[in-house]
Amino acid sequence: MNYADVFTSLLDFLLKGGPSIWAIAALSVITLALILWKIWDLAYLGAWRSGSHGEKSLALWATGDTKGARALLANRRGLRSRFLRSAYAAHENPMFDDEAAQAETTRIAKKDLERTRKGLRSLELIATIAPLLGLLGTVLGMITAFQTLQEAGAKADPAMLAGGIWEALLTTAAGMAVAIPASIAFTGFEAVADRLRHELEDMATRVFLRSRDKDRTALSIAQAAE
């Protein structure tokens, strides 16, 4: 592959497209960076893991083995594990009543879920404006082509008009080429975020199905034994 020829062709493409194509090219770089970063971020949060440790921890919690449930998640950094540790702490906090403990758990869940949606608005915006920039470039190119045709007068060459339209349509194609992957990525990442939200809601419900009175009774017995 001759990289010099590739670079020359790319530069020629950008020059023919006008200002709009440069803006679309910048958006394409931003889109790729956002997609790669979001994949890494969700992978770091454990978005695509099975969540088996969380299920095992909740099973221990339901049987009353609260220490075992917490110990199973002690060294794990995934979103589910961190949320469950916080939910357990709120559930066992003697300073919270039932309503306050659930409110604290909800607050933590919203904070964790906010990160899963970080960057999605940017992808949505790119998916919206990239085709518009492409259409703007096409309209401007068509105006230029018809102006050139008018100036040529009786000597106008139809090939001149066809060439101008061809160059103008490049921006529409480029805009759609950026918008389509941005829209697909936005929809996919949003689906992952929604799935995580449902999972955390389910986990929170299962944590608070265990009566907080049982924990208070166990704590009183332990204190009396000391």
Question: Taking a C-beta distance cutoff of 8 angstroms, is the pair 57, 84 a contact?
Answer: yes
In the block, tokens 């659930």 appear at 102
Average pLDDT over residues 143-154: 70
Nearest-CA neighbor of 61 among 89, 102, 42?
89
Q: What is the DSSP letter of 119?
A: T
Nearest-CA neighbor of 133 among 25, 30, 32?
25
Q: Each residue of 197-225: pLDDT tens digit?
A: 999 999 999 998 877 655 544 444 334 44
pLDDT of residue 34: 95
> CA-CA distances (angstroms) from residue 1 to 4, 8, 223?
9, 13, 76
What are the phi and psi torsion angles at 65 (to 5°)?
-85, 75
Q: Each residue of 153-189: pLDDT tens digit?
A: 666 566 666 666 777 788 888 899 999 999 999 999 9
Indicate if the pLDDT at residue 29 is higher than 90: yes
Question: Taking a C-beta distance cutoff of 8 angstroms, is the pair 62, 91 a contact?
Answer: no
Mean pLDDT of the chain: 82
- Provide the pLDDT confidence category of residue 8 given band limits of 50, 70 and 90: low
Q: Each residue of 76-111: pLDDT tens digit?
A: 888 998 999 999 988 888 888 888 888 999 998 998
Supply angle C-alpha 196, 200, 201, rounded to 5: 115
pLDDT of residue 12: 64
pLDDT of residue 219: 42
Rounded CA-CA distance 25/29 in Å is 7
